[in-house]
Amino acid sequence: MLTLPEVCAELQVSRSTFYDWRQKGRAPRCIKLPNGDLRIRRTDLDNWLDGREDQD
pLDDT at 56 > cutoff 70: no
Residue ranges covered by each domain of the chain: 2-50
pLDDT tens, 10-30? 999 999 999 999 999 999 999
27-49 mean pLDDT? 97
How high does pLDDT run on average in the chain?
Answer: 95
Long-range contact pairs involving 43-51 (C-beta distance under 8 Å, separation at least 24): 45/2, 45/7, 45/10
Torsion sign, CA atoms 8, 40, 33, 23:
positive
**pTM recorded for the entire structure:** 0.87
